Amino acid sequence: MLKIAIIIGSTRPGRRGETVAQWVHDIAQKRSDAVYEIVDLADFNLPLYDEPKPPILGQYTKPHTLAWSEAINSYDGYVFVTPEYNHAISGALKNGIDFLFNEWKDKAAGIVSYGGGTGGARAAEILRLILGGLHVADVSAQVSLSLFTDFENHSILKPAPRQEAAVNTLFDQVIAWSGALKALR
């Protein structure tokens, strides 16, 4: 059975990422095609990248990097839950991604973004560029949640009914690609 991580891409106090990730996970629990788990970037307490050698070498020296590597490597694919901060992903998510290379390589990823008027679409596009450089196959399905229309008072998640179908389409694609890419790994 494939394992898919739902990665919370923000570590900010008061973030919406936990709520969004839990909603995505609740939808995943209705499926039987993979094991879905939430991975909270905040739980790893990663400092700014501090390894002496490039991640492509996989020669990690820090306990936090080893723990992060082990966690990420155990999954066949990912769903990134990312906020949009200043038209981009959070610095914490970029830092977490940059700690590793081979753990991401030849796997699939989907993106659930959230933010202002565009629902985090600009952050998702930047994340796609980053994932491409890591040889991650990002799927075309995407879920964009607007703080104006999918959150009540910009704080309580109340997504439009169409959003659950969008999450399932995203999962369908992540599962298909994760299975196909398994042969490369």
Domain regions of the chain by residue span: 2-184
Q: Could you give the CA distance from residue 131 to residue 105 in angstroms, rounded to a whole number?
A: 9
pLDDT digits (tens, 9 = 90+) for 72-126: 999 999 999 999 999 999 999 999 999 999 999 999 999 999 999 899 999 999 9
pLDDT digits (tens, 9 = 90+) for 136-158: 999 999 999 999 999 999 889 99
For 41-136, list the strands marked E by DSSP. 77-83, 108-115
183 touches 107 (CB < 8 A): no
| Cα of 176 vs its chain's centroid, Å | 17
| Residues in the chain, total | 185
User: Out of 3.60.40.10, 3.40.50.360, 3.30.360.10, 3.40.50.12160, which CATH number does the structure's domain 2-184 have?
Assistant: 3.40.50.360
Structural tokens at position 147:
């703080």
pLDDT digits (tens, 9 = 90+) for 26-54: 999 999 999 999 999 999 999 999 999 99
